[in-house]
Structure 1
Amino acid sequence: MNRPVDTFRAELAAALFDRGTLRDNRWRAAVEQVPRELFLGPAVYRQTGRGWEPLLRDSCPPEEWLRTAYTDATLVTQIDGLNAADAPGPVSGSPTSSSTLPSLVIRMLELAGIREGEKVLEIGTGTGYSTSLLCHRIGEGNVYSIEYDPALATLAADRIHSAGYQPHLVTGDGLNGHPPGADYDRIVLTCALRSVPLPLLWQLADTGSITFGLGGWMQAAGLINLTIAEDGTFTGRFTGEPLSYMLARPHQPPPRPKFFPVAGEPRPTRIDPELTQSWTGRFVAQLSSPSAEMIATADNVILIDVATGSQSWTEPDGTSSWRVHQHGPLRLWDQVEQGIGAWQRAGMPDQSDFGMTISEDDTQTVWIGAPSGTSWTLPA
């Protein structure tokens, strides 16, 4: 006998509550009531050795589909614009839409501090699941949600309405916000940013906050909630937990050609390249060289700047040390070494000791310990 769907929802909510991810009983009630399986559509992708393979709902036993839907995992629904239901078979590429793991969705919504009666702007409707959680928690009339992709926006609207909710849904570039609905008490982004677009800040209420993942081209990120101070600045600290939101489409890196190493004059590295592979270490490397992408292999850490053609790559020197080759106008590895060195001198703290400030002149910085500490300016 198949188990009722309510059982799967209750088990997911209980698991999130037991782990401490879900703390508010009102959000727990939302997880127990909103049908996540409805927002997955007829298919999702599973990553296999052959790339991304579509898993069709109609080809699964009903209980297996529900078990998939209520697993605390990110379920990819689109690869390079191709929905899983339309895939002819295994495909290769990068995810462009997904149903984020419920624990991260709830963690972000709780971090935002959303309360009854507040107006919330969500950037990135996606599948519509998080939008529906918001509707259940604070009422559909208080929820505004923007989706960049018109096809995804249409699918999400159908599913949100099927779930019984009628929020304000908008199709367009969410990084411009939605002025007709302003001012918002909370803005929450389900995509990562390289820096915060100023139009979003202009549309916040005087006591508002913005919650998002700060990401970049090295695929490092940090979750943060910024609040407004009396002097008009925004500040907050990173939670330190792993984050897997995709970058907003306008913030994604340019197409990168296949890497071909160009031999530069080698020199010994000043840091162990392995330091760039920890969660915080890669975050520091990304802050230090924000225009670079990173490729890590067993023997190399490769940095590439597409715009200038600059590249750096490390290799073992045959002993227990490493050397680096650099080519082009930007010395990418020099930048990373400087940043990692500053982090080391600060005691190599966890990402939770980092914070972010947006000053009155709109300069955006990430710092260690306090705004007066070691800091990096984010790309405009």
Structure 2
Amino acid sequence: MTQVGPHHADQAGPRPVVGSPTSSSTLPSLVVSMLTLGELSEGHRLLDVGTGTGYSSALACARLGDSAVTTVDVDRYLTESAASRLVFIGRRPTVVTQDATEELPDEYDRIVSMVSVPRIPASWLSALRPGGRLVTTIAGTGLILTADKTDDGGASGRIEWDRAAFMQTRSGADYPPQLDELFQKIRDQEGEDIAVSPFPVLDVMQAWEVWSALTLHAPGIEHRTGVDDDGTRTSWMLHADGSWARAETKSGTRTATVHQGGPRRLYGLLDQIRWY
């Protein structure tokens, strides 16, 4: 992680910063995998979405040449610091500071995103040249999507076998605040429904197949986990619509006691996916 909220590691002080990670240095092999899925060839113009440290655009410049690469990030500090690093190693791609989901500055043969999106932005399809290809991940999942431009202006593609997860695109310096108020309200609250799940508590975000399927069915769920001193494992599921669930698995047991409230039964959906 290189940035938490609006606080970049370059300006880190002696006090810890609490918040959501907003930028990172991506695993190098994953950067290579994403660019490889883009099927880059000489003569292609590439849009690298999510400048970050500048690593992905540096590799793209080595493959295509500096003039063929544009890299974009919503965060001005990230673009300016990355541009400085790139110049230091002799690379000068076009570096743009803007929201990548808005209208893009040019047309491209390839769009490869190092951030995730909840859906393909219309601006990407507009900026993708005929025969072009895009590669991205779906927000809240471990799914990599590759798609090729079609004659009707859309794109057709597939979910790749490989897995990857990136931070979601954002429009400002930080993500919207987490559901802390709802969490404090329901943390130990009795549910409107109380049931026993045949499955033990699961850290959903570490079980990528389950996490991905759940997000596709019910996007926007926030997950939290904890372990008590007596070994009890607890997980919480929260949603902005007020739905919530709390599940507890006592040490030495294989089931979970589940409390749920709000308009939807989130844990019921999770159990359905785990049965599947």
Normalising by structure 1, report the TM-score: 0.62
SS of the equivalent of 1:181 reads coil
Q: Which residue of 1 aligns with 2:3?
A: 78
Residue 270 of structure 2, aligned match among 336, 339, 342: 336
Deviation of 1:206 after TM superposition, in Å, equals: 1.8
Residue 166 of structure 2, aligned match among 245, 255, 277: 245
Post-superposition CA distance 1:95-152 (Å, at most 9, x none): 3222211101111000110110011111111111211211111111111111211122
Residue 110 of structure 2, aligned match among 186, 198, 202: 186
1:308 and 2:234 equivalent? no
SS of the equivalent of 1:186 reads strand
Matches of 1:312 and 1:106, distance apart in 2: 39
Q: Which residue of 2 aligns with 1:227?
A: 148
Matches within 5 A, 1:64-143: 76-93=1-18, 94-143=20-69
1:291 and 2:220 equivalent? yes
- Which fold has the larger relative contact order, with Cα–Cα distance below 8 Å and residues 6 or more apart in sequence? 2
Deviation of 1:233 after TM superposition, in Å, equals: 4.9
Post-superposition CA distance 1:188-228 (Å, at most 9, x none): 11111122211111211121111112122xxx422221223
- Kindly tell me: are residues 254 and 336 of structure 1, through their superposed partners in 2, closer, same or farther at Cα, counting changes over 3 Å? farther
SS of the equivalent of 2:61 reads helix
Post-superposition CA distance 1:149-174 (Å, at most 9, x none): 11221111222222222222211111
CA RMSD of aligned residues (A): 2.5
- Kindly tell me: are residues 275 and 123 of structure 1, through their superposed partners in 2, closer, same or farther at Cα, counting changes over 3 Å? closer
Aligned-partner residue type, residue 243 of structure 2? S
Aligned-partner residue type, residue 224 of structure 1? L
* Runs of 4+ with deviation above 6 angstroms: none
% identical equivalent positions:
32
Does the CA-based 8 Å contact 1:79-1:96 persist in structure 2? yes
Aligned-partner residue type, residue 152 of structure 1? L
SS of the equivalent of 1:297 reads strand
Residue 153 of structure 1, aligned match among 79, 83, 88: 79
Does the CA-based 8 Å contact 1:123-1:175 persist in structure 2? no
Matches of 2:254 and 2:32, distance apart in 1: 44
Q: Which residue of 1 aligns with 2:126?
A: 202
Structure 2 unaligned spans of 5+? 228-232
Matches of 1:199 and 1:86, distance apart in 2: 33
Q: Which residue of 1 aligns with 2:230?
A: none
Matches of 2:203 and 2:98, distance apart in 1: 39
Normalising by structure 2, report the TM-score: 0.84
